[in-house]
Structure 1
Amino acid sequence: MKKTIPFVFATLFGFETASAQTTSPDTLRVISLSEVVVSANRVQERKADIPQQIDVLPAAQIRLQNPMNTADALVNTGQVFVQKSQFGGGSPVLRGFEANKILLVVDGVRMNNAIYRAGHLQNILSTDANAVDRIEVLSGAGSVIYGTDALGGVISILTRNPQLADSTTASQPRVRTNNLLRYGTAAREKTAHTDISLGWQKFGLLTSITASDFDDLRKGRRDYKSFPGFGENLRYVERQDGKDVVVANDNVNIQRQSGYRQLSVLQKLLYRPSASQQHLLNVQYSTTSNVPRYDRLQTYRNGALRWAEWNYGPEKRFLASYQFQYSRPTALFDLLRFTPAVQKVQESRLVREFGKDLRDENVEDVQVLSANLDLFKQLGEHELRYGAEVTRNEVESTGTRVNIVSGATTGIATRYPNGSTYATTGVYASHRWEITPKLILSDGLRFSTVKLKANFNPEFFKSSLLNSDQSSSSLNGNLGLVWMLPAGFRVSGLVSTGFRNPNLDDVSKTFEQNNGTLIVPNLDLKPEQIFYREAEVSNTIEGKLQVALTGFYSTLTDAIVVRPYTAPDGSTTTVYNGQTFTTVANTNTGKARVYGFSGRFNAALIKHWSAQASVTYTKGRDLSLDVPLDHIPPVYGRGAITYQSRKLTAEASMLFNGRKGVADHSPSGEDNLIQNTPVGALGWQTFNLRTTYQITRSWSVQSGLENILDQSYRPFASGINAAGRNFYLTVRFER
């Protein structure tokens, strides 16, 4: 440690005497009210005109943070909390909502599908951080524009596009390539990335490939004084000579059976025959190795490790979309964008108990067809945005019990009813009126319908669960006001409604929880409804300072939470795969509330120096049972100082989380109290250093030291300790 810190400081600041070089156009910014975003209404508009909090993570910031994956890119902002049940995981939380209560969107196409669960998700990892152009985080209900699932907000991920040649070099293609090799010590990470963009005057293509290999993650060595050894991996299970054997860990800080591999590929074809017309074909593919579910593999029963295997099988995501954009003004629109898409997602769970030769394999294949139509029209002082969306999910779910010795197979209960469908439709319109240059009114409406059909196999389910047909509709609206005051002050307010319709995972899932209970189907679920309020006061000195304080308050009715379940025949237990379980089910509670505030600070200091800080505080409660609501993180945030010159960018930062006691955890089990200390989730902070140095026009090197003090900690609701001290080194070649 004594040798490491001086080395990193030398890396950060020792090269400053080198000669100057022109800065890349994609440099870090302090702040600008004229910044353009697309997530609020699906078309470009000034961030200052939008009454809802939107945080933007541009490519330059992602590059400086140099994250292992997209989930870590969000963590490093300090403005999004992320939960992890395993190293290959990452479940963002917005405004106290997580998983299927926030919406993930990639290049305008919704990622959420019929089997997005209410617990913790890792689907955001299927997007490659090295191919991302920017991430926009819209906090708060977004159902008017995006429909179901956007209760807590929207994370919109925009990947890079091909770059066309300009008119002065039309005879020569524009060639751009980016390549990197990265190594990190905490998980012996090896990442290689390459992309190439070829652009002519009207036609361009972009190919991007990233491959990563992560070994078992090492946690920090510096334990909490009150809980020495918390999170240590004392033993694990190996298969030796055809038998399961418990092995004593020779290094208890290495979380054995947590590593995985990942491959991501992106291909885009762009054709722009004229200034007003554009065609874009977008193909993405991501796959992993088996991803060990670390918290399950460290589950004990009667003093012994319970599982020999508990893996998510290879997680595969395929996306193909076509986007047509037309921007010549007509009577109905000034801009039209049409985006049909197809997605194919495969998820699986491979589970085998210690000492047994029978492995249960549940595989889910989801195909999603979707189409979005978005239009924009300027009418004097009024702006009109309107459109429609349709989606259809088809789910195939299989269950197989495999004898790993003989290879014999038998059928078992599927996780979901096989052959189920889930479809949504929606039409929306939003309007903005610039009453004066200082006073802007926004409003919008959306009408949505959702239909779900599930057919249960009578071999594994009771006759009362054979068929389920559900349909619902929802009308949602919002109203917002932005008031520009003298001296850079700005006041905004927003009220909006939103909904989330129960999907296949809510209605029909059968699954054993960490606390030993069994979730069973409940066909009586109704849509969740939210009434969201937000108010913000900010002050901006263009290019120099922004300070903002945002308060939010949500009232949730018919909230879907996990509760003890009594079947129609009066039973509270059931036999599943040969074992008897106490049953729980997703249930509509009467009312819940979530409220809190977030603060953000961004300032240019003296020449080359800037400072950033953010903090978020959230409280949530199930008012029907007067108990804490699940998925509510403790207070969290970030502070950083950044130095930037023509050749060097360096950042020193601190990430922090507050403590969350036992009494503040939800009784549903979703907060994973069993995975934390006897007094709940402990507070923590990490100190980090990062640098980027441009050696030549084409070559650059990045290095950093994360969690400098090597703190051992486990974020709230997570099932694995975070990385200990991690030194990384990245070499880039670009031209």
Structure 2
Amino acid sequence: MIMRFLVVIFFITFSIQSQQVKVLELGVDFPIENVTIYNETKETIVYTDKYGIADLSVFKESDIISFYHIGFFEYEILKRELGEIEFVVHLVKKSEQLDEIVLSASKGNEKRSRIAEQIAVASEIDIKKLAPQTSADLLANLPGIKVQKTQFGGGSPVLRGMEANRVLLVVDGVRMNNAIYRMGHLQNSITVSPNIIDRTEVIFGPSSVVYGSDALGGVIHYFTKTPKTSLNNEVKGEIFSRYSSVNNEITTQANVELQFKKWASFTSVSYSDFGDLRMGKSRNHGFKEWGKVYEYSNNTDTYYNTNPVQNENPTLQKNTGFKQTDILQKFAIPFSKNTDFTLNLQYSTSSNIPRFDNLTQYSDGSLKFAEWYYGPQQRLLVSPQLKINPSKKWLDYGTITLAYQNIKESRVQRKFTSLDRSYRDEQVDVFSLNGDFFVPLTNDNSRIFSYGIEATHNNVNSEAIGKVLDIYNNTVVGFTDEFTVQSRYPDGGSTYTSAAAYVNYRQDISEKSTLNTGVRFINTHLTAKWIDDTFITLPNMGISLSNSSLTATIGYIFKPTLDWQINGIVSSGFRSPNIDDIGKIREKNGDVTVPNIYLKPEYAYNFETSAIKYFNHKKFHIGLDVYYTLLHNYITRDYYEMDGSSTIIYDGEEANTMANVNKGNAYIYGSTFSFKGNFNPMWYTKGSITYTKGMAYDTKNRLSSIPPLFGMLELGFEKKRFQVGVNWVFNGEKTLETYNLVEGIDNLEETPYNPLLDTYYGTPSWNIFNLNANYKVNNNVSLFVNIDNIFDIHYKEFASAISAPGRNFSASLLLNI
């Protein structure tokens, strides 16, 4: 009797264990977490836990089971055959993801081999290896992207000679661009911490009709980390910490993921403390004093000093440090077999961020500003999202995304020798709705029809006030009076509303060719009202403007052989002026930008072709992308008369008036050559070089935001737990003749000064070497070490006010709990 009982217990135990599978990385036997395991119909799906284990009891013995993870080659096996490999599956790590799934191009999963656009991708692994301090630093490491910095607490990405409100930023399917995204340089990309990003995708050019307005230069899409449900109740945690020597940065990020059968949660809190930034000391460019900071203002909200302070170390850029906190909370709830719900909550805030370029500006031989800083940059996002899979003829699957965003920013300034401090505060409330739906027309997905809608509404509130400081023993004890200050945007309030619809069609014409087509219709409506006419009186103090456009794209992919892919795209883009374009008032270097209520939309017509050649069974590839973009009715900043006058009294000084105006036609053309892959299982390399040129047909002026030749080359070694790489980053010279001398966007005054000619040289060329290494101690502990700018070179990125970081030692620790 006892023997029978033991036999029964043995078979029950064996049956339970045989329902579990362990998934390991081949060669090192580390468990692989979040492997997707599914059957042929994809009706049954489970995921591995942090130990690489998954319960397969929901599958039939006759099921063909697939094991999928983006970093490994997919593996298939009959469930009943798992016993032959002792229920342990080893996955082979992908040395190169050349045909990976791209999420942003069509807002659905699509193979890169079916996409004609130029695309750059940074995975979570790439982000950890790079150890970027901000998301702007992350973008600067992607091919074809140049990042401008006015101050350290910022970063304005440039795509194909376009930046700021001509580049669309998206986070988790929600557009970040709002009604006050400006021309010139935009620092908002840093409000998404790299520590919460799971993946970043960049689409170059205006060809994607699923995004529409603002995407003239391209789309940058951040995908943040998302929790997954599990049949087993699990709690997982992660702690990441980094120290960087160049600015004494300390970053700590902690997250916890709760996985249950019916719901999951992911919580992340990240805090960064950035000190003042040290520049490089090796001046190969020959300009011994360029960029050095000999004096600075130590004035604060509460401390008053009538004189600048001498800087004991001129290579330390005082007034560049800041602090930032980022919080991410996501809930995932599978309502049913065909419906998944996600609630996405994000909050980002910072300390005051000093405006470095203005705090180093001189007037009559003395520092001009005692105070000039951005108040805390705050971004709140609340976004419920519903993924549906009804499998209807008119709707197979789709995503509905609602969002509310609240953005707050402010500017505070005061000049030396003055007690007058001005405050300008902006708040934007953004409501949006996106619906993206897909209908496969064939069982093998060779023909897919997709369609979608997008609606946004921006409400902008802009206020300004001046206060006279009350000082006692160098302490600000209060205010003695108030005075009128011109608001940055219409003080009576303004709104910006858009509504759009699109359709897309993709067909595999044959095994060798694919056609992508799409059209999008968009309508925008803007209202603005000015009340205070102390400084400026407009022809109309209240305006209401509407614009609409139909844009289209057609892309063709041809693969004559397994090792070649040739792409061609013809597309159009549209950008309707927003509140910042039409209604902004601000001063820079003695020029005041004033409203232009007659501003019209600008259009882009894009033509591009690219070729990709694969080698060694697609483990290595080279690619060349060439494009030409025609800008029609383009918007530029130019000198402007208001009420018959070309000057205005602003903040107590006479200044020239400028405005955003429409011109005729301009062009931008360029190319990016890139390569990436493995020589063998241990050695890898990647690199790129980008050339851009832009000029106006009508005025013959150079366009702003056109970077010089730039690129990078990396060589790396990877074996089991260890990886090390060395990269060379280079940037060509941008001479005075290639600058736009009217708009003032490219900060020519931040380049070396030539006293003999009483002008500026332009940006010198530079190149630096960096090293990155990481070691996976075990499945729970990983170490990362970076040495950036090894030879401590002094340089400035094109159009940047702040000098780039000098030699930097960075060490990071990642703990999985």
Measured in 2, the distance between the counterparts of 1:609 and 1:719 equals: 38
Measured in 2, the distance between the counterparts of 1:463 and 1:492 equals: 49
Quote the residue 1:111 is aligned against. Answer: 176
Sort the Cα spacing of 1:627 and 1:29 in 2 relative to 1 into closer, same or farther, 3 A. farther
Match of 2:582 among 492, 507, 510: 507
Measured in 1, the distance between the counterparts of 2:118 and 2:299 equals: 51
C-alpha deviation, 1:20, in angstroms: 4.8
1:409-428 maps to which residues of 2 (within 5 A)? 409-418=482-491, 419-428=493-502
1:315-334 maps to which residues of 2 (within 5 A)? 315-334=377-396
Larger radius of gyration between Structure 1 and Structure 2: 2
Corresponding position: 1:258 with 2:258: no
Quote the residue 2:749 is aligned against. Answer: 674
Per the alignment, in what secondary structure is the counterpart of residue 307 of structure 2?
A: strand
Measured in 2, the distance between the counterparts of 1:463 and 1:592 equals: 29
Mean CA deviation greater in 129-138 or 694-703: 694-703
C-alpha deviation, 1:645, in angstroms: 2.1
Q: Is this contact kept in 2: 1:30–1:545, CA < 8 A?
A: no
Post-superposition Cα deviations, 1:609-661, rounded to whole Å, max 9, x if no partner, equal 10001111100001111010000011111110122222112111111111100
Measured in 2, the distance between the counterparts of 1:648 and 1:143 equals: 39
Measured in 1, the distance between the counterparts of 2:125 and 2:196 equals: 12
Measured in 2, the distance between the counterparts of 1:321 and 1:239 equals: 40
Amino acid at match of 1:122: Q
Measured in 2, the distance between the counterparts of 1:285 and 1:684 equals: 37
Measured in 1, the distance between the counterparts of 2:379 and 2:532 equals: 31
Which gives a bigger RCO, structure 1 or 2 (Cα 8 Å, sep 6+)?
1
Corresponding position: 1:216 with 2:303: no
Post-superposition Cα deviations, 1:175-216, rounded to whole Å, max 9, x if no partner, equal 221111111000000111001111112210000010000110
Corresponding position: 1:22 with 2:84: no
C-alpha deviation, 1:411, in angstroms: 3.5
Q: Is this contact kept in 1: 2:31–2:779, CA < 8 A?
A: no
Measured in 2, the distance between the counterparts of 1:565 and 1:330 equals: 57
Quote the residue 1:690 is aligned against. Answer: 772
C-alpha deviation, 1:686, in angstroms: 1.1
Identity of aligned residues (%): 36
Corresponding position: 1:82 with 2:164: no
Quote the residue 1:13 is aligned against. Answer: none
Amino acid at match of 2:567: S
Measured in 2, the distance between the counterparts of 1:424 and 1:148 equals: 9
Amino acid at match of 1:62: I
Quote the residue 1:495 is aligned against. Answer: 570
Match of 1:186 among 227, 246, 252: 246
Amino acid at match of 2:392: T
Point out where structure 2 has 5 or more consecutive residues left out of the alignment. Answer: 1-26, 34-69, 72-92, 471-477, 753-759
1:594-609 maps to which residues of 2 (within 5 A)? 594-609=668-683
Sort the Cα spacing of 1:358 and 1:111 in 2 relative to 1 into closer, same or farther, 3 A. same
Amino acid at match of 2:765: G
Measured in 1, the distance between the counterparts of 2:114 and 2:28 equals: 38
Measured in 2, the distance between the counterparts of 1:120 and 1:615 equals: 23
C-alpha deviation, 1:396, in angstroms: 0.5
Measured in 2, the distance between the counterparts of 1:143 and 1:647 equals: 39
Amino acid at match of 1:372: N
C-alpha deviation, 1:23, in angstroms: 7.3
Q: Is this contact kept in 2: 1:212–1:261, CA < 8 A?
A: yes
Q: Is this contact kept in 1: 2:285–2:764, CA < 8 A?
A: no
Corresponding position: 1:310 with 2:318: no
Quote the residue 2:185 is aligned against. Answer: 120
1:136-155 maps to which residues of 2 (within 5 A)? 136-142=201-207, 144-155=209-220
Amino acid at match of 1:433: Q
Per the alignment, in what secondary structure is the counterpart of residue 663 of structure 2?
A: strand
Match of 2:357 among 288, 295, 300: 295
Measured in 2, the distance between the counterparts of 1:44 and 1:696 equals: 32
Quote the residue 1:638 is aligned against. Answer: 712
Quote the residue 2:503 is aligned against. Answer: 429
1:110-509 maps to which residues of 2 (within 5 A)? 110-142=175-207, 144-165=209-230, 170=231, 172-239=232-299, 242-380=304-442, 381-405=446-470, 406-407=478-479, 408-418=481-491, 419-460=493-534, 461-509=536-584
Corresponding position: 1:53 with 2:53: no
Q: Is this contact kept in 1: 2:208–2:553, CA < 8 A?
A: no
Q: What is the total number of aligned residue pairs between the two structures?
A: 710
Sort the Cα spacing of 1:463 and 1:704 in 2 relative to 1 into closer, same or farther, 3 A. closer
Measured in 1, the distance between the counterparts of 2:482 and 2:227 equals: 48
Sort the Cα spacing of 1:174 and 1:426 in 2 relative to 1 into closer, same or farther, 3 A. same
Measured in 2, the distance between the counterparts of 1:467 and 1:538 equals: 53
C-alpha deviation, 1:334, in angstroms: 0.9
Quote the residue 2:601 is aligned against. Answer: 527
Measured in 2, the distance between the counterparts of 1:277 and 1:429 equals: 23
Quote the residue 2:46 is aligned against. Answer: none
Match of 2:794 among 689, 709, 712: 712
Q: Is this contact kept in 2: 1:143–1:149, CA < 8 A?
A: no
Please provide the CA RMSD for this pair: 1.5
Point out where structure 1 has 5 or more consecutive residues left out of the alignment. Answer: 1-18
Amino acid at match of 2:484: G
Match of 1:700 among 782, 798, 815: 782
1:718-729 maps to which residues of 2 (within 5 A)? 718-729=800-811
Measured in 2, the distance between the counterparts of 1:66 and 1:242 equals: 38
Post-superposition Cα deviations, 1:30-67, rounded to whole Å, max 9, x if no partner, equal 43443111211111111110111111111111111011
Quote the residue 2:629 is aligned against. Answer: 554
C-alpha deviation, 1:119, in angstroms: 1.2
Quote the residue 1:613 is aligned against. Answer: 687
